[in-house]
A and B are shown apart, each in its own frame.
Chain A
Amino acid sequence: NLMGARLSGSYGDTQEPKTNPLVSISDEPETLYKRLSILIKGHDKAVLDSYEYFAVLAAKELGISVEKVDKPPKTIERFTLLKSVHIYKKHRVQYEMRTHYMCLELKYLTSSTAAVYLEYVQRNLPEGVAMEVKKTKIEKIPEHIRKPVWDTLPQVEETEVKS
């Protein structure tokens, strides 16, 4: 019984195609990325582990192939200060700051996929965590290098030099 039911959007738009205002279609060829390298830095290893799980899951859901997940060793920045305000040079205090890293490498992306993935992953970046992104573009070989030079030059007849 459809008497009291409101017409949903799909019934109203059968004449016009449904266009999502958030999706834009353009005719220019997309830039292709061979590798997308994301380096995550943080103080807390547990936070980095949970963020790695989240980023890998997001990549899998979007169909992006993960090349490898690397965990470079942590860097510790230490400095030694005097313990007391005035004298007592022999008694010092040491502080350190530990930075843990996590490198996520994704392969073979288009620019729109990379934009979507990076935007999602960056909006959910936890506080106290920094990210650096490196993209490796694939470009076509330029026209002037296509063929080797010795094939393009006209054939020169060999002349013997007689002394």
Chain B
Amino acid sequence: MAAAARALRVLPRVPSATRQLHTTPACLKTRAARVRVGKGDKLVTYEQAHPPHHIGHRKGWLSLHTGNLCGEAGAAQRAVEDAFLRRFLYGTFPGLLADEVVLKRRGNLLVICALLGRALPPHKLYFLLGYTETLLSHFYKCPVRLELQTVPARVPYKCL
């Protein structure tokens, strides 16, 4: 039970083999963002079940911005902001995130779309929504909109 809960934790980390410090921009391709096959007790969502080479074919993008287009700047800043936002939301909604958070940037506006479980009562969710929006908009100096949707349970795609 604890193993399954740990496996479904939202931020999948690249398992660092023996090193603690990554200094080169290398990423072990054969193990990145993949959930390894186990005994059949791990429930995996559609997002987690597909490895990253399926992005654009069977998967969509989780973070939509123009930084990575040809001739556009700001990719590194957006990447840092995305990493911070995912950790912040993982901590603000403890144990509630059903799937990865989708970040959309339209001009100056930052739209965060999150799927939550139904563990908290609605008034607490509204408080957390307002708190996140005000804090992040003051922090990043841009309008931030958080769009939440609650689902009864995580939707499993596969058992690995």
Q: Does B121 contact A (CB under 8 A)?
A: no
The distance in angstroms between the C-alpha atoms of A152 and B72, with both chains bound, is: 52
Say whether B69 contacts A41, CB under 8 Å: yes
| A81-B26, A93-B27 as given contacts; A44 in contact with B56, CB under 8 Å | yes
Residues A41 and B70 in contact, CB atoms below 8 Å apart = yes
Interface range on chain A (Cβ under 8 Å from partner)? 20 to 34
Q: What residues on B are CB-neighbors of A82 within 8 Å?
A: 24, 26
Contacts of B24 in A (CB 8 A): 81-82, 85
Minimum CB distance partner of B75 in chain A:
A97
> Using a Cβ–Cβ cut-off of 8 Å, how many residues does chain B contribute to the interface with A?
26
**Interface residues of chain B: helix, strand, loop or mixed (majority):** loop
CA distance A126 to B66 in the complex (A): 10
Contact indicator B72/A93 (Cβ below 8 Å):
no
Q: Contact between B106 and A127 (Cβ–Cβ < 8 Å)?
A: yes
Q: Closest approach, in angstroms, between the C-beta of A50 and any C-beta of chain B?
A: 14
Query: Considering the chains assembled together, what is the distance between the CA atoms of A152 and B137 in angstroms?
Result: 67
New contact pairs (17) apart from A81-B27, A93-B29, CB-CB < 8 Å: A42-B69, A43-B56, A43-B68, A43-B69, A44-B61, A81-B26, A84-B26, A84-B28, A85-B28, A93-B27, A99-B69, A127-B64, A127-B105, A127-B111, A128-B105, A130-B66, A130-B72
Top 10 nearest A-B pairs (CB, nearest first) are A128-B64, A127-B104, A99-B70, A93-B29, A127-B64, A130-B66, A82-B26, A41-B69, A127-B106, A99-B69
Q: Which residues of A contact B (CB under 8 A)?
A: 41-44, 75, 77, 81-86, 93, 97-99, 125-130
